[in-house]
Structure 1
């Protein structure tokens, strides 16, 4: 290998390490907040904060869409005008943040009714929290597309630590739903302020540039919304089609699945700009998928070797001992969705407009299959849990193969 190649490889590995560590800190901190909540709050209040986090997860799709758009546009930009393009991204982020904040405030009564939450403070603070997360998404997109990995890592780190220190700290001081949401809201402000500081030199965007960003963001957001709807639908099927005990087992197992889904996200963050800059590069995509799958294999092996430890982490042996022998199935499911997520981002990078439709169709197939197998009591109890997680894994892998094949054909034409 040439000296230049060695330097490039070394720089990439250093960037990968920095981003991987930052995202690991962010995800561990997020789980830390959840664990503190599960231990400090009463079950009713923990259910409420979990529901609010679910709403944030859905609303955060706009943030991810902004990030993907910013990363793609900056990565493919050539010549002068990077500052104005970054400014267009930030302005679009501010507009989206303001819009989502207003929508959330308007929907406050509906959220209170749907989620059975009486605290108006908790529901109202959801709006500025989501606004800050949306603003952060536009900032992350600029940093990612510009390959400013250290600054990107700093924003990711403060995002996780803000949630853990301020949100978890609020729960330790006063274990209540209101205090938990106040801590979450304050925690979301910190990374947004840091991102604003890091990108303060961006300026000069035209109205046309901002409109282009918004238009592309809507397409990317739709694709990601389809993915997250698919990735989170199984918990709804479990709740509707299994009894309360078994749906509880499934919810606990999903902690493992989500950990395996988020584990390889740093690969997506690092590879996405190069995929956008080289659309149709199937070799690069194949390597990225293999990297994500390799991390998944390691996770599955860990659950097979240390099932008791996994059960202790997700909720304790006393409650979930029966789930121990099957945690590896959830690791497979989470890893399968991680592979699908990689392919979905490749589709966004390649501006594949049919990806969202394919994912929505996959969701319909998943719903029909779950309804037939579980709704007719073909599989019940823990068998039902195992069958549902197997169905979701299969659906994710088939969709990954189908989308990847479509991207390859599009690149060949």
Structure 2
């Protein structure tokens, strides 16, 4: 039998397809992240410090609440990627995820509305309008999570990238535009709410016509979403706990240095997210595929090595970007440590998603245990004054890196054993 593809060319086809998909998704996610950063810059320049602090706090609440969106996305991607039935069954699964997203969005919206007085008190925000607008914003983001899950699980990469792009464009154009027209906290939140509706509307258009979900399908999707959300919540808590430890255990100046260094760590954490998005469906459809997981880890780690080298070669530029040499010059020689930490957590994030793909039920517990150990170790070393000043900063970032790598190894071993059993 003749063939147009030679044996030497055959392995290249899926590799090229992967690279094309990765590029499309990477571009979409890059636009989203750059646009989000642009909104932050506009906010810092257009709002007075008190209002900028308030919008930052509200964005923090959105970040916490967005874990539900990520849980829905992971659930939808896993369920669609592992589906082996007919096209009609796949459509029913898609419809179930979208309806689960609607229910979750309504539930979170209601919770936010009820909790508005509490948020106003905790965050010292007087504007009820600004805090109330958290509810529809989070509702739209949650609904979008279910849509992203269907697109990701169906490997509709171009449409997935379009929704990611819409997230950033909506936040920058409508949120930033509202601040340019009228610089106030209320305007910023109105723009954010309208911006969050843009990707949700685009996702609804792209996935129009889905139908056929049964009540049991929807309940199963919601049950799995709760598990995935819990695991992701554990990850995001441990990935952000070091800033709290620094604030509580270091003096004001050193905790400020640490906070600036965390900007580098977060950039290294979010940089390889497109790899996770692309590889997650295949991890779900091939549970226990250690070769695929190992290659993904190597890709994420490789990007991390590049960022570490960059911070080693250009420490002054890094310091200038994150806060300026006038205030953070002493941090320059140590920015590479934060690049290592962020890259270590990027690897952990990949393994956490692999655990969700494989439905490893003990992943969240292991992460919570790791957080407890990290907290105790930081309390002993920093709280007792064993390491102080910039030495304390270096020790804390080294402990976080070690914790992330140990957890990654432990989770990866557990996933391998589960697949073998």
Please give the range of the TM-score, normalised by the shorter of the 2 chains. Answer: over 0.9
- Aligned equivalent of 2:223: 215
Aligned Cα root-mean-square deviation (Å): 1.2
TM-aligned CA deviation for residue 265 of structure 1? 0.3
Deviation readout 1:266-312 (Å, 9 max, x if unpaired): 00000000000000001100000010000001111111111222122
Deviation readout 1:142-178 (Å, 9 max, x if unpaired): 0000000000000001101111222222223333222
Task: Choose from 22, 25, 34 the match for 1:16.
Answer: 22
Q: Secondary structure at the match of 1:377?
A: coil
- Aligned equivalent of 2:385: 377
- Aligned equivalent of 1:311: 319
Matches within 5 A, 1:52-131: 52-80=58-86, 81-131=89-139
TM-aligned CA deviation for residue 2 of structure 1? 4.2
1:211–1:15 CA distance, 2 compared to 1 (3 A): same
1:383–1:171 CA distance, 2 compared to 1 (3 A): farther
Q: Secondary structure at the match of 1:45?
A: helix
TM-score, L = length of structure 1: 0.97
2 CA distance for matches of 1:182 and 1:321? Answer: 38
Is 1:38 equivalent to 2:44 in the alignment? Answer: yes
Matches within 5 A, 1:11-410: 11-80=17-86, 81-410=89-418
1:173–1:325 CA distance, 2 compared to 1 (3 A): farther
TM-score, L = length of structure 2: 0.96
1 CA distance for matches of 2:403 and 2:45? Answer: 34
Is 1:6 equivalent to 2:12 in the alignment? Answer: yes
TM-aligned CA deviation for residue 209 of structure 1? 0.3
Q: Secondary structure at the match of 2:11?
A: helix
TM-aligned CA deviation for residue 377 of structure 1? 1.8
Deviation readout 1:360-382 (Å, 9 max, x if unpaired): 00110111111111111222222
Deviation readout 1:15-42 (Å, 9 max, x if unpaired): 1110111111111111222222233333
Structure 1 stretches of 5 or more lacking a match?
Answer: none
2 CA distance for matches of 1:115 and 1:281? Answer: 46
Structure 2 stretches of 5 or more lacking a match?
Answer: 1-6
Bigger mean CA deviation after superposition, 246-255 or 51-60: 246-255
**Count of equivalent residues:** 413
TM-aligned CA deviation for residue 345 of structure 1? 0.4
Deviation readout 1:239-285 (Å, 9 max, x if unpaired): 21122222222222111111110000000000000000000001100
